[in-house]
Amino acid sequence: MRAAGAALWGRAEQQDFRSRVRGVLLGGALGDGYGRRGAVTAATQLTMFTVDGLIRAHVRRDTGTWHPPTDVHRAYRRWYATQHDWGPDERREDNGWLGVEEWLYTRRGPERACLTGFGDDTPATLDRPKNPTARDAAAAFRSAPFGLLVGWEPALVLQLAVECAVQSHGHPAAYLSAGAFAVIVHGLTRGTSLDTAVRRALALLTARPGHEPVTDALHRALTAVTRGEPGPGAVEALSTGTGRTAEDALAAAVYCALVAEDVPHGLRLAAAGHAGPLCGALLGALHGETALPATGLAELEGRALLLQLADDFALELTQGPALHGPAATASPWLNRYPRA
Protein backbone atom coordinates (compact mmCIF):
# COMPACT_ATOMS: atom_id res chain seq x y z
CA MET A 1 0.00 0.00 0.00
CA ARG A 2 1.40 3.37 -1.03
CA ALA A 3 0.40 6.75 0.33
CA ALA A 4 0.36 9.98 -1.57
CA GLY A 5 3.20 12.38 -1.04
CA ALA A 6 3.13 14.33 2.19
CA ALA A 7 2.01 17.92 2.08
CA LEU A 8 4.21 20.81 3.09
CA TRP A 9 3.17 22.05 6.51
CA GLY A 10 3.18 25.71 7.50
CA ARG A 11 2.59 26.81 11.07
CA ALA A 12 -1.08 27.64 10.51
CA GLU A 13 -1.66 24.32 8.76
CA GLN A 14 -0.02 22.43 11.64
CA GLN A 15 -2.16 24.23 14.21
CA ASP A 16 -5.36 23.56 12.27
CA PHE A 17 -4.46 19.91 11.76
CA ARG A 18 -3.65 19.36 15.42
CA SER A 19 -6.94 20.98 16.45
CA ARG A 20 -8.88 18.66 14.15
CA VAL A 21 -6.97 15.56 15.28
CA ARG A 22 -7.72 16.47 18.88
CA GLY A 23 -11.31 17.16 17.90
CA VAL A 24 -11.71 13.74 16.29
CA LEU A 25 -10.26 11.75 19.19
CA LEU A 26 -11.85 13.78 21.98
CA GLY A 27 -15.15 14.19 20.14
CA GLY A 28 -15.41 10.48 19.48
CA ALA A 29 -14.70 9.73 23.13
CA LEU A 30 -17.30 12.27 24.26
CA GLY A 31 -19.87 10.56 22.09
CA ASP A 32 -18.77 7.19 23.41
CA GLY A 33 -19.10 8.30 27.03
CA TYR A 34 -22.31 10.30 26.54
CA GLY A 35 -24.78 9.56 29.33
CA ARG A 36 -22.17 7.71 31.39
CA ARG A 37 -20.39 10.69 32.96
CA GLY A 38 -17.52 10.36 30.51
CA ALA A 39 -16.80 6.65 31.06
CA VAL A 40 -15.66 5.30 27.69
CA THR A 41 -16.07 1.85 26.15
CA ALA A 42 -13.98 -0.46 24.01
CA ALA A 43 -14.78 1.83 21.07
CA THR A 44 -12.47 4.50 22.46
CA GLN A 45 -9.87 1.97 23.56
CA LEU A 46 -9.65 0.54 20.05
CA THR A 47 -9.54 3.99 18.49
CA MET A 48 -6.51 4.73 20.63
CA PHE A 49 -4.79 1.56 19.46
CA THR A 50 -5.63 2.46 15.86
CA VAL A 51 -3.70 5.71 16.33
CA ASP A 52 -0.85 3.82 17.97
CA GLY A 53 -0.68 1.42 15.03
CA LEU A 54 -0.65 4.22 12.46
CA ILE A 55 2.15 6.07 14.24
CA ARG A 56 4.19 2.87 14.38
CA ALA A 57 3.57 2.25 10.68
CA HIS A 58 5.21 5.59 9.93
CA VAL A 59 8.07 4.88 12.33
CA ARG A 60 8.71 1.49 10.72
CA ARG A 61 9.24 3.14 7.35
CA ASP A 62 12.76 3.82 8.62
CA THR A 63 13.46 0.10 8.19
CA GLY A 64 12.20 0.04 4.61
CA THR A 65 8.95 -1.62 5.69
CA TRP A 66 5.64 0.01 4.80
CA HIS A 67 2.42 -1.91 5.29
CA PRO A 68 0.03 -0.04 7.61
CA PRO A 69 -2.58 -2.84 7.79
CA THR A 70 0.02 -5.09 9.41
CA ASP A 71 0.99 -2.47 11.99
CA VAL A 72 -2.64 -1.69 12.82
CA HIS A 73 -3.40 -5.40 13.17
CA ARG A 74 -0.49 -5.70 15.60
CA ALA A 75 -1.91 -2.77 17.54
CA TYR A 76 -5.27 -4.51 17.79
CA ARG A 77 -3.49 -7.61 19.06
CA ARG A 78 -1.94 -5.45 21.79
CA TRP A 79 -5.43 -4.24 22.67
CA TYR A 80 -6.57 -7.87 22.80
CA ALA A 81 -3.88 -8.55 25.39
CA THR A 82 -5.40 -5.83 27.59
CA GLN A 83 -8.67 -7.76 27.57
CA HIS A 84 -7.10 -10.94 28.94
CA ASP A 85 -4.06 -9.96 31.01
CA TRP A 86 -4.34 -8.71 34.58
CA GLY A 87 -2.08 -5.80 33.76
CA PRO A 88 0.89 -4.74 31.61
CA ASP A 89 3.50 -7.42 30.96
CA GLU A 90 6.81 -5.60 31.19
CA ARG A 91 8.52 -8.44 29.34
CA ARG A 92 6.76 -7.47 26.12
CA GLU A 93 9.16 -5.43 24.01
CA ASP A 94 6.40 -4.07 21.80
CA ASN A 95 4.24 -2.53 24.54
CA GLY A 96 5.25 1.05 23.93
CA TRP A 97 3.74 3.64 26.22
CA LEU A 98 0.09 2.85 25.49
CA GLY A 99 0.44 -0.81 26.35
CA VAL A 100 1.50 -0.06 29.92
CA GLU A 101 -1.49 2.12 30.79
CA GLU A 102 -3.19 0.25 33.64
CA TRP A 103 -6.75 1.50 33.07
CA LEU A 104 -6.84 0.02 29.56
CA TYR A 105 -6.74 -3.47 31.11
CA THR A 106 -10.38 -3.25 32.15
CA ARG A 107 -12.97 -4.68 29.79
CA ARG A 108 -15.38 -2.03 28.52
CA GLY A 109 -18.02 -4.07 26.72
CA PRO A 110 -16.17 -5.05 23.55
CA GLU A 111 -18.20 -6.65 20.79
CA ARG A 112 -17.67 -10.38 20.52
CA ALA A 113 -16.43 -9.98 16.94
CA CYS A 114 -13.51 -7.88 18.18
CA LEU A 115 -12.48 -10.50 20.72
CA THR A 116 -12.70 -13.39 18.27
CA GLY A 117 -11.23 -11.41 15.39
CA PHE A 118 -8.14 -10.33 17.27
CA GLY A 119 -7.79 -13.60 19.14
CA ASP A 120 -5.14 -15.00 16.82
CA ASP A 121 -2.20 -13.44 15.04
CA THR A 122 -3.25 -14.42 11.52
CA PRO A 123 -4.30 -11.27 9.63
CA ALA A 124 -7.52 -11.38 7.66
CA THR A 125 -7.88 -10.28 4.05
CA LEU A 126 -10.80 -9.04 1.97
CA ASP A 127 -10.98 -12.48 0.41
CA ARG A 128 -10.86 -14.19 3.81
CA PRO A 129 -12.29 -11.78 6.40
CA LYS A 130 -12.86 -12.60 10.04
CA ASN A 131 -16.46 -13.04 11.24
CA PRO A 132 -18.24 -12.79 7.85
CA THR A 133 -21.64 -12.19 9.47
CA ALA A 134 -20.54 -9.47 11.92
CA ARG A 135 -22.46 -6.33 10.95
CA ASP A 136 -22.35 -4.12 14.04
CA ALA A 137 -20.64 -0.73 14.16
CA ALA A 138 -17.57 -1.64 16.23
CA ALA A 139 -15.23 -1.60 13.22
CA ALA A 140 -16.55 1.80 12.18
CA PHE A 141 -16.21 3.18 15.71
CA ARG A 142 -12.44 2.62 15.67
CA SER A 143 -11.87 3.87 12.11
CA ALA A 144 -11.82 7.66 12.49
CA PRO A 145 -7.98 7.83 12.70
CA PHE A 146 -7.64 6.55 9.13
CA GLY A 147 -9.37 9.71 8.00
CA LEU A 148 -6.65 11.80 9.64
CA LEU A 149 -4.13 10.68 7.00
CA VAL A 150 -4.68 13.89 5.10
CA GLY A 151 -1.70 13.37 2.79
CA TRP A 152 -3.40 10.30 1.35
CA GLU A 153 -5.93 10.19 -1.46
CA PRO A 154 -9.48 9.31 -0.35
CA ALA A 155 -9.46 6.00 -2.23
CA LEU A 156 -6.40 4.87 -0.26
CA VAL A 157 -8.03 5.91 3.01
CA LEU A 158 -11.06 3.82 2.10
CA GLN A 159 -8.90 0.82 1.24
CA LEU A 160 -6.86 1.00 4.45
CA ALA A 161 -9.95 1.34 6.64
CA VAL A 162 -11.59 -1.61 4.91
CA GLU A 163 -8.50 -3.81 5.19
CA CYS A 164 -8.31 -3.09 8.91
CA ALA A 165 -12.05 -3.49 9.48
CA VAL A 166 -12.11 -7.04 8.10
CA GLN A 167 -9.75 -8.11 10.87
CA SER A 168 -12.89 -8.39 13.01
CA HIS A 169 -15.95 -7.61 10.87
CA GLY A 170 -16.37 -9.48 7.61
CA HIS A 171 -19.84 -8.38 6.52
CA PRO A 172 -19.58 -5.91 3.60
CA ALA A 173 -21.98 -3.49 5.29
CA ALA A 174 -19.73 -3.37 8.35
CA TYR A 175 -16.38 -2.92 6.66
CA LEU A 176 -17.70 -0.55 3.99
CA SER A 177 -19.35 1.56 6.70
CA ALA A 178 -15.94 1.77 8.37
CA GLY A 179 -14.36 2.81 5.08
CA ALA A 180 -17.04 5.38 4.31
CA PHE A 181 -16.74 6.87 7.79
CA ALA A 182 -12.96 7.21 7.39
CA VAL A 183 -13.38 8.93 4.02
CA ILE A 184 -15.88 11.40 5.50
CA VAL A 185 -13.53 12.21 8.39
CA HIS A 186 -10.75 12.62 5.82
CA GLY A 187 -12.74 15.18 3.86
CA LEU A 188 -13.67 17.14 6.97
CA THR A 189 -10.09 17.16 8.22
CA ARG A 190 -9.03 18.55 4.86
CA GLY A 191 -11.55 21.36 5.30
CA THR A 192 -14.39 20.32 3.00
CA SER A 193 -18.06 20.52 3.97
CA LEU A 194 -19.81 17.51 5.46
CA ASP A 195 -22.16 17.24 2.50
CA THR A 196 -19.20 17.21 0.09
CA ALA A 197 -17.35 14.64 2.19
CA VAL A 198 -20.38 12.33 2.23
CA ARG A 199 -20.82 12.60 -1.52
CA ARG A 200 -17.14 11.78 -2.03
CA ALA A 201 -17.63 8.65 0.06
CA LEU A 202 -20.70 7.71 -1.98
CA ALA A 203 -18.76 8.05 -5.22
CA LEU A 204 -16.00 5.77 -3.97
CA LEU A 205 -18.37 3.18 -2.54
CA THR A 206 -20.26 2.51 -5.76
CA ALA A 207 -17.37 0.47 -7.15
CA ARG A 208 -17.38 -1.87 -4.14
CA PRO A 209 -19.37 -5.12 -4.13
CA GLY A 210 -22.07 -5.12 -1.48
CA HIS A 211 -22.13 -1.32 -1.13
CA GLU A 212 -25.91 -0.92 -1.40
CA PRO A 213 -26.83 -1.04 2.31
CA VAL A 214 -24.20 1.61 3.07
CA THR A 215 -24.90 3.92 0.14
CA ASP A 216 -28.65 3.62 0.80
CA ALA A 217 -28.05 4.56 4.43
CA LEU A 218 -26.03 7.63 3.47
CA HIS A 219 -28.70 8.72 0.99
CA ARG A 220 -31.33 8.34 3.74
CA ALA A 221 -29.27 10.60 5.98
CA LEU A 222 -28.91 13.29 3.32
CA THR A 223 -32.61 13.16 2.46
CA ALA A 224 -33.75 13.27 6.08
CA VAL A 225 -32.10 16.65 6.59
CA THR A 226 -34.80 18.28 4.46
CA ARG A 227 -37.71 16.56 6.22
CA GLY A 228 -39.12 18.04 9.39
CA GLU A 229 -37.55 19.14 12.63
CA PRO A 230 -34.50 17.31 13.98
CA GLY A 231 -35.20 15.10 16.96
CA PRO A 232 -34.80 11.60 18.35
CA GLY A 233 -37.76 10.41 16.28
CA ALA A 234 -36.09 11.53 13.07
CA VAL A 235 -32.91 9.71 14.07
CA GLU A 236 -34.75 6.51 14.91
CA ALA A 237 -36.60 6.68 11.59
CA LEU A 238 -33.29 6.28 9.76
CA SER A 239 -32.96 2.72 11.04
CA THR A 240 -33.89 -0.16 8.79
CA GLY A 241 -35.12 -2.09 11.81
CA THR A 242 -32.56 -4.87 11.46
CA GLY A 243 -30.77 -4.20 14.73
CA ARG A 244 -27.83 -1.99 15.57
CA THR A 245 -26.08 -2.30 12.24
CA ALA A 246 -23.03 -0.37 11.12
CA GLU A 247 -24.83 1.32 8.25
CA ASP A 248 -27.68 2.50 10.49
CA ALA A 249 -25.20 3.96 12.97
CA LEU A 250 -23.37 5.71 10.13
CA ALA A 251 -26.60 7.17 8.77
CA ALA A 252 -27.57 8.43 12.22
CA ALA A 253 -24.14 9.98 12.78
CA VAL A 254 -24.12 11.79 9.45
CA TYR A 255 -27.66 13.08 9.93
CA CYS A 256 -26.98 14.30 13.46
CA ALA A 257 -23.77 16.04 12.41
CA LEU A 258 -25.57 17.74 9.52
CA VAL A 259 -28.44 19.12 11.62
CA ALA A 260 -26.54 19.77 14.86
CA GLU A 261 -26.76 23.31 16.21
CA ASP A 262 -23.57 22.64 18.16
CA VAL A 263 -21.61 19.65 19.44
CA PRO A 264 -23.76 18.97 22.55
CA HIS A 265 -26.91 19.07 20.42
CA GLY A 266 -25.41 16.64 17.93
CA LEU A 267 -24.35 14.22 20.64
CA ARG A 268 -27.79 14.29 22.26
CA LEU A 269 -29.40 13.41 18.96
CA ALA A 270 -26.83 10.73 18.15
CA ALA A 271 -27.56 8.91 21.39
CA ALA A 272 -30.95 7.97 19.93
CA GLY A 273 -29.22 6.16 17.07
CA HIS A 274 -26.42 4.58 19.10
CA ALA A 275 -24.02 6.64 17.00
CA GLY A 276 -22.27 8.82 19.57
CA PRO A 277 -18.66 7.85 18.77
CA LEU A 278 -19.21 8.39 15.05
CA CYS A 279 -21.07 11.70 15.38
CA GLY A 280 -18.61 13.05 17.95
CA ALA A 281 -15.67 12.32 15.67
CA LEU A 282 -17.39 13.94 12.69
CA LEU A 283 -18.17 17.11 14.65
CA GLY A 284 -14.63 17.18 16.05
CA ALA A 285 -13.16 16.91 12.56
CA LEU A 286 -15.53 19.58 11.28
CA HIS A 287 -15.05 22.17 14.02
CA GLY A 288 -11.83 21.25 15.86
CA GLU A 289 -11.26 20.82 19.57
CA THR A 290 -12.38 24.30 20.62
CA ALA A 291 -15.99 23.48 19.71
CA LEU A 292 -16.16 20.59 22.18
CA PRO A 293 -18.09 21.20 25.42
CA ALA A 294 -15.86 21.98 28.38
CA THR A 295 -18.17 20.26 30.85
CA GLY A 296 -17.94 17.00 28.94
CA LEU A 297 -14.18 17.23 28.55
CA ALA A 298 -13.71 17.91 32.25
CA GLU A 299 -15.13 14.51 33.21
CA LEU A 300 -13.95 12.54 30.17
CA GLU A 301 -12.10 9.38 31.11
CA GLY A 302 -8.67 9.09 29.52
CA ARG A 303 -8.60 12.70 28.33
CA ALA A 304 -4.88 13.13 29.04
CA LEU A 305 -4.03 9.99 27.06
CA LEU A 306 -6.24 11.01 24.17
CA LEU A 307 -4.59 14.42 24.03
CA GLN A 308 -1.14 12.83 24.12
CA LEU A 309 -2.03 10.45 21.30
CA ALA A 310 -3.55 13.24 19.24
CA ASP A 311 -0.49 15.45 19.62
CA ASP A 312 1.88 12.55 18.94
CA PHE A 313 -0.04 11.67 15.78
CA ALA A 314 0.06 15.27 14.58
CA LEU A 315 3.79 15.46 15.34
CA GLU A 316 4.50 12.23 13.48
CA LEU A 317 2.64 13.31 10.37
CA THR A 318 3.98 16.86 10.27
CA GLN A 319 7.50 16.45 11.67
CA GLY A 320 8.28 12.73 11.58
CA PRO A 321 11.78 13.03 10.05
CA ALA A 322 12.85 15.24 12.96
CA LEU A 323 11.75 12.60 15.47
CA HIS A 324 13.38 9.47 14.04
CA GLY A 325 15.25 8.13 11.05
CA PRO A 326 16.95 5.01 9.67
CA ALA A 327 20.16 5.71 11.60
CA ALA A 328 18.43 6.11 14.96
CA THR A 329 18.48 3.04 17.20
CA ALA A 330 17.22 4.60 20.42
CA SER A 331 15.31 7.75 21.26
CA PRO A 332 12.40 8.79 23.48
CA TRP A 333 10.13 8.57 20.43
CA LEU A 334 11.23 5.03 19.61
CA ASN A 335 10.67 4.06 23.23
CA ARG A 336 7.11 5.30 22.93
CA TYR A 337 6.52 3.75 19.52
CA PRO A 338 8.89 0.79 19.10
CA ARG A 339 9.69 -0.60 15.69
CA ALA A 340 9.25 -4.12 17.08
Let me know if residue 331 belongs to a domain. yes
Per-residue pLDDT tens for 153-167? 999 999 999 999 999
pLDDT of residue 34: 96
Question: To the nearest whole percent, how much of the chain has pLDDT over 90?
Answer: 84
Let me know if residue 252 belongs to a domain. no
Q: How confident is the model at residue 152 (pLDDT cuts 50, 70, 90)?
A: very high
Let me know if residue 221 belongs to a domain. no
User: How high does pLDDT run on average in the chain?
Assistant: 94
Per-residue pLDDT tens for 31-78? 999 999 999 999 999 999 999 999 999 999 999 989 999 999 999 999
Per-residue pLDDT tens for 295-313? 999 999 999 999 999 999 9
Segment 86-94 mean pLDDT: 76
Total domains in the fold of the chain: 1
Let me know if residue 90 belongs to a domain. yes
Q: How confident is the model at residue 263 (pLDDT cuts 50, 70, 90)?
A: very high
The CATH number assigned to the domain holding 153 equals 1.10.4080.10
Let me know if residue 191 belongs to a domain. yes
Segment 2-8 mean pLDDT: 47
Let me know if residue 268 belongs to a domain. no
Closest CA to 253 of 294, 302, 229, 286: 286
Let me know if residue 143 belongs to a domain. yes
The residue segments making up the domain with residue 113 are: 11-206+280-336
Q: How confident is the model at residue 241 (pLDDT cuts 50, 70, 90)?
A: confident
Let me know if residue 2 belongs to a domain. no
